[in-house]
Chain A
Amino acid sequence: ELKVEQNPLFLSMQEGKNYTIYCNYSTTSDRLYWYRQDPGKSLESLFVLLSNGAVKQEGRLMASLDTKARLSTLHITAAVHDLSATYFCVVTSGSRLTFGEGTQLTVNP
C-alpha cells in the first residue's frame, strides 16, 4: 500500500522567510504532484514532477523530486501572505492518486 507522509503538517512563518516542506512516499511511483488548496475551496494543481532530479519553479515556489530517496520537496522563497494555504503532495499508483495529509501554511506579516 502506497503511503505518503508530509512534514511539517502545520507551518507558521513570517513574510520574507524561506522554508521547505518535505514529502516522503513508501513505494516506487512514476510521477508526483503538488496541489494547493485555499480554505473552503477546491484543489489547484501546482506542479507535476515526472523523473528523478526533476525541478519545477513557479514564482516563490520550487518543487523537486528524488525518486531514489522517494522524497519530494516544496521550497518557499521569501514567503508572502498570499501563499497561505494547504499544500498537498500526491503520488500516483497506476491511475490512482494517494494524497499526503497536507501542510497547512500560514504566512504572517
Chain B
Amino acid sequence: SAVISQKPSRDICQRGTSLTIQCQVDSQVTMMFWYRQQPGQSLTLIATANQGSEATYESGFVIDKFPISRPNLTFSTLTVSNMSPEDSSIYLCSVDKGEGGHYGYTFGSGTRLTVV
C-alpha cells in the first residue's frame, strides 16, 4: 500500500492567516482526498483532487476557503484560508487503495491545526 508523508504535523495559527498542508505519496495515484476531523467528530470529506483538473468539493466546502493544488500524481496541497477558531481540526490527506473496484483509504499522518 502507499506511504504518505504529510506536513506540518501540527501548527498553531493566528486567525485571519492561511496555512498550507502538503502531502507526498511514494507512488503515483489517480485520486487524493482531503478530510477534516473536527474535535469529537468523525471524518468529513472536503474535496477530491485529481491531477490536471480542478478539485471536486463536497457540499459545505468551497474553493476560496480550501484551495487545493495537484501538480502531479504524487503530490497535493490543501490551504486553509482566512482561518478562524472554527477551523481548528485535524486535516488528513488520503489515497484510494483501489482493490478490484473497492476503495479503502490509506491516510497521511495528519495535521493538527489550532487557530487562536
- Asked whether A and B interact, the reply is no
Could you list which residues of chain B lie within 8 angstroms of chain A, going by C-beta atoms? none
Could you list which residues of chain A lie within 8 angstroms of chain B, going by C-beta atoms? none
